[in-house]
Structure 1
Amino acid sequence: MAGNKEAILSSEKSDDTTDFLDRHVFEPISIVFSHIFIKLGIIPNVITVMSGIFGMAGGILLYFRDFKLNLIGILLEIMAYIFDTCDGQVARITKHCSRYGRMLDGFCDSLAFASMYFALSFRLMNEMIPFTNVYWGLYIWPVSIAAGYSHQRQSAMVDYYRNLHLFLLKKGKGSEFDRSSDLKAEIDSLKGHFAQKFLMKSYCSYTKGQEKASPALQRLLNSVDFENVTDSQWAEWAKRSRKHLWLTKFLAYHPKAIVLYASVLAGFHVVFFPIVIVFFGTLHLIMVSKYEKFANSCILEIEG
């Protein structure tokens, strides 16, 4: 097991893009499961689907006004996250990394979070609006839809900026930083592969949304000849990007999960949607602003 453990650890992404809980809690646990999956010959995509099933089942259990069921749901969500970490570890160590695997991973993550949002929304429909005698009813849906949309945009930009940082660290080689123009060309070349085409089109739309939210960064990417960027310039850009990564950690999985789990177990889950919209939404705007300023400063240096 020691050899596999060392190999898994060496395959991990940069510490820059992982937070304390990942490094010290979830990765040590997931290494054990990854070793088991490798021994059993279970491929990454199967682990991804298992993660999605756990996530959706856990989300559904948050609908019930039962502490034990809610706790089981939360434990299933935690197990889903561990498996979600495992699929990447197993993919990297067994050399089964693929864009389709990453797209499937994102799709399953979305289904898991959607199940939580739907469960909370249906649960709140039958509860009173705070400080009133009025049931939420259908009024909860505009709130939950706004929170879900905000959550999706936050997660998309966290993913984008983390991949950007890895792109800079790896000097443009072997990263998962995709451009929609490249994806569209691949989609056009696919013939008769419905499932692959569906995933690619969904991923391309997702990537376009990331690009639309970062116009200055797109101007930078379009103006640089990355083949001729010096090592010192790569290092300088990575250093500047690193300064803003703390924002991606605040907007990633763990902070939202902690707020969700704590509010559900305390019976005060009504606060979750407003916190996603207001608090995390504000952090999202700050994060995008910081990275756009970073991109503009790089453009000025290149043009100057």
Structure 2
Amino acid sequence: MNEKFKATLKSSETEDWLDLHVIRPFCYYCAVFFAKFDVHPNTITIWSMIIGAASAWFFAQGSWYYSLQETGSIWQGLIYNIIGIFLLMWGDIFDCTDGQLARMTGKKSRLGRILDGLAGFTWFFPIYVALVIRFYMHHDLEFQWLGIENTEQNTLIATGVVFVLALISGLWGLQGQQRLADYYIQVHLFFQKGEKGSELDNSTRQKEIYEQLPKDTPFYERWFQKSYIEYTKKQENVTPEFQKLMAKLHEKYGSSDNIPQEIRDEVRSQSLPLMKWNGLLTFNFREFWLFLFCLIDIPVGNFLWEIIGMGLIYWYVNHRHETFCKKIREKLG
């Protein structure tokens, strides 16, 4: 593996196979290109948000089954889906590129870290709204399977149910799952590389940063920072045993730099097998299922999968991580 390329990665241990061998190498060359023109990583992040969010319109129009019923051809709906897939993948490529560009050029910033964490939510919020609209417009197939009469009243009721599923899928599923996955990546990097090699944040420190912002700080930066406090609080709320472990380590050793290497190695060895499961909560695996359900023309299936299937993976990763954190803390006395 090229050393310059490796330097742009957080760690090969926290990347899944597709990212490490396909997406990240491609994004490295994108980062080299943007570095030549002195493009700031935050600019790439904003582009990724706009491009990824633009895919929502195409997913809303992407029903090939109903295109076949109305025009006698599947191509119109299929092409809309393909364009939506292309745009979302393009947004993801730029989302990967911004981090590699930041590490390549040294242009890291607190705002960049916050923007990067928001990118996926910026894509999926309009996409989920688009899928609810798509169900409202095209639901004959689902009504036939369930034996529901296709009336305006039934359509409104069913669309309301799908909207609730989209809310649960987005707020509890997507946001909660990706927030936890990102946190566990930073935890792993903290014990692998130390505090300087990770971006492991805590809400107390983020609140201090917010309170110390100068009065002339732009309103959007203040809003992002305040949102990030809540983001880190939610990460901490679902990892109580890890928080107790960190408190114990700070009580026993003071600075994080003083944590003995054998403890770091033990946490890392327990965390490493979970990284492949943790990776399933990030974009690539989630993207696959979204594309599949859109292509088979049952987009509501994506919400059910995210709540049930991804929810079980989330529970497994969280349970395993909390269990070994508790055992290590108890060994410390």
If the length of structure 1 is used for normalisation, what is the TM-score? 0.94
Residue range with higher mean Cα deviation, 18-27 or 219-228:
219-228
Could you give the per-residue CA deviations for residues 115-170 of structure 1, whole angstroms, max 9, x where no partner exists?
11111111112324442324332221111111112111000000011110001101
1:86-235 alignment, distance < 5 Å: 86-126=97-137, 127-128=139-140, 129=142, 130-133=145-148, 134-135=154-155, 136-149=158-171, 150-192=173-215, 193=217, 194-225=219-250, 226-235=256-265
1:110 match: secondary structure: helix
Unaligned runs of 5+ in 2: 64-76, 149-153, 251-255
| Residues 1-150 of structure 1: pairs in structure 2 closer than 5 A | 6-64=3-61, 65=63, 66-126=77-137, 127-128=139-140, 129=142, 130-133=145-148, 134-135=154-155, 136-149=158-171, 150=173
Q: Is the 8 A contact 1:147 1:274 kept in 2?
A: yes
Q: Secondary structure at the match of 1:251?
A: coil
Moved over 3 A (4+): none
Separation in structure 1 between the aligned mates of residue 278 and residue 197 of structure 2, nearest angstrom: 21
Report the AA paired with residue 280 of structure 1.
M
Given that residues 95 and 119 in structure 2 are in contact (C-alpha distance below 8 angstroms), is that contact kept between their aligned partners in structure 1? no
Q: Following the alignment from structure 2 to structure 1, what is the Cα–Cα distance between the partners of residues 208 and 262?
A: 32
Structure 2 CA distance for aligned equivalents of residues 49 and 6 of structure 1: 28
Given candidates 275, 281, 294, the residue that maps to 1:251 is 281
Query: Match for residue 295 of structure 2?
Result: 265
Letter paired with 2:111: Y
SS in 2 for 1:224: helix
Paired residues of 1:125 and 1:137 also in contact (CA < 8 A): yes
Contact 2:102 2:108 in 1 (8 A): yes
CA distance in 1, matches of 2:131, 2:13: 33
* 1:62 partner SS: helix
| 1:300 corresponds to 2:322 | no
TM-score relative to the length of structure 2? 0.86
Q: CA RMSD in A?
A: 1.4
Q: For 1:132 and 1:96, how far apart are their aligned partners in 2?
A: 57
Distance in 1, matches of 2:214 and 2:195, equals 29
Identity %: 29
**What secondary structure is seen at the aligned counterpart in 1 of 2:196?**
coil
State the Cα distance separating 1:6 from its structure 2 match.
Answer: 4.6
Assess if the C-alpha contact under 8 Å between 1:125 and 1:140 holds in 2: no
The answer to whether the 8 A contact 2:5-2:25 is kept is no
Letter in 2 for 1:90: L
Deviations 1:180-208 (A, max 9, x none): 11111111111321222111110110100
User: Does the CA-based 8 Å contact 1:125-1:138 persist in structure 2?
Assistant: no
Give the residue type in structure 2 aligned to 1:171. G
